[in-house]
Amino acid sequence: MPQFRMVDAGEVRIRAALKGEGPLVVLVHGFPESWFSWRHQIDPIADAGFTACAIDVRGYGGSDKPHPVEAYAMERLTADVAGVVRALQPGAPAILIGHDWGAPIVWNTALARPESVRAVGGLSVPYLGIPSRPFTEVFDALFTQKGRFFYQAWFQKEGPPEAEAEADVRGFLRKFYYAISGDAPPGAWPQKPAGATLLEGLIDPDPFPAWLTENELDYYEAEFRESGFRGPINRYRNHERDFAWLQGFQGRTIEQPALFIGGTKDPASTAFGGLSDPIAAMRPHVPNLVSAHMLEGCGHWTQQERPEEVTRLILEWLKGL
C-alpha cells in the first residue's frame, strides 16, 4: 500500500497516496472514483524512479468536502492540483495525468497554471480547446430539447441525483461502471426520456467483469458511504462558471509534452459520438502531443480495464520526457 498524507493545497486539504522517490507524478481520478482507480499504476511509476502521487479530488475520500456548488469549479480544482505540486515539490513543476474529470482538471491546470506542469497526460477525455459555449447549452440542444435523457442534465438537480446514488451505493457503482465499460453490450447505456433518472434501465451484471473484483468494489463502496455524492456531482453543476473562467485563456494552447489514451468503446473519448478521430481533433490545441493512442474495445475505465497496456504506455511516455 502507498503512504497516505494530508496535503495543504491552499484552500482545502487533499489526501494523497504516495509511493517512490524522484520527479513528482500527480494522478487525478474522475467520477465516481478515488485515488484507488490508479492502484495498478502507482507501483510501476514508483519503481521507474518517480514519486507517484494519486490524490482524492476535493469532495472525495479523505479530502476536504466543501458544501457549496461553486466550490467545485474548475478554477478551484486546478488550484488544488497546483497546490499539491507546490507542497510536495516546491519550486519545480510536476507531471500530471488525469482520467475522466481528472483529464479536464489536468489539461486545464497545464493551460492556466503552466508554471506548475512539466508534462500532462489525459485518459478518456481529449482536450479540444477553449469552449465556445457552456456544455449545458450543448447537451440541452442535443438531448433535453429533443426529450432525451442525458446524465449531466440529471445531475443539475441538487438532491435527487445524490439520493438515488446513496440509496444503494454498491448497486449504483456496479451499474454505472458496467454501463460504459468495454464489456457492456450495445444498449447497456439505454436511450430514455428526459424525465428519467440515471439508474433507470441500467444493468447490474452477474458476474461483474474481472477488471473490478468484489474486494475492490468493497473499497469504493466504503469510500462513498463515508463521503456521499454531493461533492462529486457538484463538479457537473459548474459548466457555466467554468466557461466564463476559461474565456480568459482564448488563443492559448497546451504547450507541454502530452499523452492521450482513449478507448474505442468509451463515449467520452469520442465526445459522445461527435468525434471520428479524437487524436486529430486534439492536435491543434495540444501541439506537443507526443504519445496518443485509442485502445480497441476499451471502455471508459481506461487504466482499470487495461492496466498493463495503459501502464506500459504511461511509462514509455514518462521515460521519454
- Residues classed as catalytic: 100, 300
263: region left, alpha or beta (phi > 0 left; psi from -120 to 50 alpha): beta
Q: How far is CA 225 from CA 2, 14, 66, 176, 301, in A?
A: 22, 19, 17, 16, 21
Q: Rounded to whole angstroms, how far apart are CA atoms 246 and 181?
A: 30
Is there a contact between 91 and 256 (Cβ–Cβ < 8 Å)? no
Q: How far is CA 69 from CA 25, 145, 313, in A?
A: 28, 25, 36
Q: How far is CA 298 from CA 37, 233, 279, 292, 295, in A?
A: 16, 25, 16, 15, 6
What is the per-residue DSSP string for 184-253?
A: SPTTSS---BTT--TTTT----SSPPTTS-HHHHHHHHHHHHHH-SHHHHHGGG-HHHHHHHHGGGTT--
Is there a contact between 131 and 246 (Cβ–Cβ < 8 Å)? yes
- Torsion angle (degrees, nearest 10) of CA 163, 100, 186, 189: 20
Task: Count how many Cα atoms sit within 13 Å of the Cα of residue 131 in the half-sphere of its side chain.
Answer: 17
Q: Tell me the pairing of strands 94-99 and 24-28.
A: parallel
